[in-house]
A and B are shown apart, each in its own frame.
Chain A
Amino acid sequence: MAATEMILNATWEHIVLVYTTLLASILVAVPLAFASLYSQRLASVVMSFANLVQAVPSFAVIAIVVPFLGIGFVPALIAIMLRALLPIIRNTYIGLTNVDPAQIDYANGIGLSEWQIQRYIRFPNAYPAMFAGIKFSAILANSIAVLTAFIGSGGLGEIIFQGLIGYNTEKLLLGAIPAIVLALLIDLSFTLLEKKLTPGYIKQ
Chain B
Amino acid sequence: MPTQRLFERIDSIELQQVSKKYGSRYAVESLDLTIEGGELLILIGPSGSGKTTTLRMINRMIGPDTGSIRINGQDVMQLDPVRLRRNMGYVIQNIGLFPHMTIGENVGLVPKLEGWDEKRTNARVRHLLDFVSLPPERFIKRYPRQLSGGQQQRVGLARALVMDPPLLLMDEPFGALDPILRTQLQEEFLEIKKEIGRTIVFITHDIEEAFRLGDRIAIMDNARLVQVGAPEDLIFDPVNELVADIVDTKRKFKHMDTLNVKDLMTPLDAKYILNGGVDACDAVEIMKDREIEIGIVFEKGMLAGKVEMVNLLKCEDDRPFLRDIAKPMKVFALRDSVATALSEMKRSGEYVAMVMDGDTVGGMLVSDEVLLKLI
The chain A residues found within 8 Å of chain B, CB to CB, are: 102-103, 105-113, 116, 120-121, 124-125, 199-201, 204
Contact = CB atoms under 8 A, between A and B. Distances in A.
A125 B99 CA distance: 9
Given A109-B61, A109-B96, A110-B90, 18 more contacts: A102-B96, A105-B61, A106-B90, A109-B59, A109-B85, A110-B86, A110-B109, A110-B159, A110-B160, A111-B82, A111-B83, A113-B82, A200-B102, A201-B99, A201-B101, A201-B102, A201-B145, A204-B146
A200 B98 contact: no
A118 B308 CA distance: 41
Contact of A204 (B3, B90, B143, B160): B143
B160 to A, nearest CB: 8
Given A116-B113, A201-B143, A204-B146, A109 B100 contact: no
Contact of B100 (A111, A112, A201): A201
B94 A110 contact: no
Contacts of B143: 200-201, 204
Nearest to A121: B98
Nearest to B55: A109
A128 to B, nearest CB: 10
Contacts of A116: 113
A111 to B, nearest CB: 3
A21 B285 CA distance: 51
B80 to A, nearest CB: 10
28 contacts: A102-B96, A103-B98, A106-B96, A107-B98, A108-B61, A109-B61, A109-B85, A109-B92, A110-B85, A110-B86, A110-B90, A110-B159, A111-B83, A111-B85, A111-B86, A112-B109, A113-B82, A120-B98, A121-B98, A124-B100, A124-B101, A199-B100, A200-B102, A201-B100, A201-B101, A201-B143, A204-B143, A204-B146
Nearest to A108: B61
B294 interface: no
Contacts of B113: 112, 116
B94 A102 contact: yes
Interface residues of B, number: 26
A110 B85 CA distance: 6
Contacts of A204: 143, 146
Contacts of A102: 94, 96
B110 A110 contact: yes
B43 interface: no
A145 B339 CA distance: 83
B338 interface: no
A125 B3 CA distance: 26
A116 B82 CA distance: 11
B84 A111 contact: yes
Query: Which 8 A-B residue pairs are closest in the complex by CB-CB distance?
Result: A106-B96, A111-B85, A111-B86, A109-B90, A201-B143, A124-B100, A201-B100, A111-B82
Contacts of A201: 99-102, 143, 145
A113 B143 CA distance: 24
A203 to B, nearest CB: 10
A161 B166 CA distance: 74
A107 B100 CA distance: 13
Contact of A111 (B92, B98, B110, B145): B110
A120 B94 contact: no
Contacts of B85: 108-111
The listed residue with most B CB atoms (<10 A of its CB), out of A103, A109, A120, is A109
A67 to B, nearest CB: 47
